[in-house]
Every structure is written in C-alpha cells, then in structure tokens.
Amino acid sequence: MGLFDKLAGWLGLKKEVNVLCLGLDNSGKTTIINQLKPSNAQAQDIVPTIGFSIEKFKTSSLSFTVFDMSGQGRYRNLWEHYYKEGQAIIFVIDSADKLRMVVAKEELDTLLYHPDIKHRRIPILFFANKMDVRDALSSVKVSQLLCLENIKDKPWHICATDALKGEGLQEGVDWLQDQIKTMRT
C-alpha cells in the first residue's frame, strides 16, 4: 500500500487533485513517488522525448505528474504546460548535493514566478531528501539556502526524508492532506 492510499481514500469520489512532483534529476523523485504511489495507481502515459520525460499516473482521485527540471531548459515549454492544472506541488531536493543547491533554488524561483503559479495559493511540500547521506545538509539549512521564508503567499512545509527507507514521507503526506482538505472546503 502506498502512503497516498489514505489520502486517496479520504478524497473518495470527490474531484481529482493534480499533484506535480518536481525537482532536479537524481534528487529522488522516482524513489519517493514509488513509496507514495497507491497500489492501484495506473501509469497514464510517459512522454519520452530525447533527454526528457514526463510521467503521469492516476488513482481514482489523485493524479500525479512527475518531471525533472534540470539541465533541460529547452524543454521548459513542455513541462510548464502542466503548471496550470497542478493543485499541489511536491518539490524534491537532494540535500547531499551542495553544489547544485543553487541550481535547485534557481528552478524553484523560476517556478514561483511563473504566471500560472505566482498568484495561486498552491501548497508546496518540500522533501529535503537523502538525509541518510553523511554530510547531507539539514532541512533547516536547505530551507535557508532556498530562502523558503520568503514564500509568503503559499502554504509550504519542509520535511527531512530518507526516501530509500521511506522515513519522513508520512509527515509530509499528512501535511499535504490537511492542505488539500482546506482547499476543498
């Protein structure tokens, strides 16, 4: 059973919620999604382009779109297309990749200033992943480097995670569930 089964169950037959799962390549998105994926999730389509792919899968009430934001600026138009329909964002960071933290911040800022995201109170869940790696930055440090305190107009939350063991994911899912509940009442 994936961690999102509970959330999907709670949502029942209500309208579908689209979750975007974003981050640089190698941050752990696929690993996290595999932990979260409800057991009955069905792959919708994978759009393979040279050097870029978008994975979509859905359950009765949750639909996920997963893609890398890194090193593929020329594909930006492709992925930005999905921003409009996203109602919640999971942004994954490799806390052990100090060198690319600045790139992660650039991509986050570009996302936050995008016209389809900027003026919406869309909840953003940050997973500061790979906490098990020696010398990984703490979630507080990651939060500082990404300047998350500057995000004033959207609810956000950061969790330290070890996606390999599945640690920390539940806390994030619980938070996201609360946000989605609020959104829908």
Told to check if 3 binds ligand G3D by CB under 6 A, we report: no
Candidate residues 26, 44, 60, 177; the one interacting with ligand G3D per rule CB under 6 A: 26
How does DSSP assign 135-177, residue by residue? Answer: TPPPHHHHHHHTTGGG--SS-EEEEE-BTTTTBTHHHHHHHHH
- 25 assigned to a ligand binding site: yes
Please identify which of the residues 72, 87, 170, 177 carries the catalytic annotation: 72
Is 35 among the residues that bind ligand G3D (CB under 6 A)? Answer: no
The β-bridge partners of 132 are: none
The answer to whether 130 and 163 have CB atoms below 8 angstroms apart is yes
Question: Which of 5, 106, 132, 171 lies at the binding interface for ligand G3D (CB under 6 A)?
Answer: 132
Q: Which residues of 80-109 are buried (b: 16+ CB within 10 A; e: fewer)?
A: eebbeebbbbbbbbbbbbeebbeebbebbe
Q: Verify binding: residue 30, ligand G3D, rule CB under 6 A.
A: yes
29 appears as a binding residue in the annotation: yes
- 44: annotated active-site residue: no
Q: Is 78 in the site for ligand G3D (CB under 6 A)?
A: no
- 70 is an interface residue for ligand G3D by CB under 6 A: no
Where is the binding site, in residues?
Answer: 23-30, 49, 71, 129-132
Which are the catalytic amino acids? 72
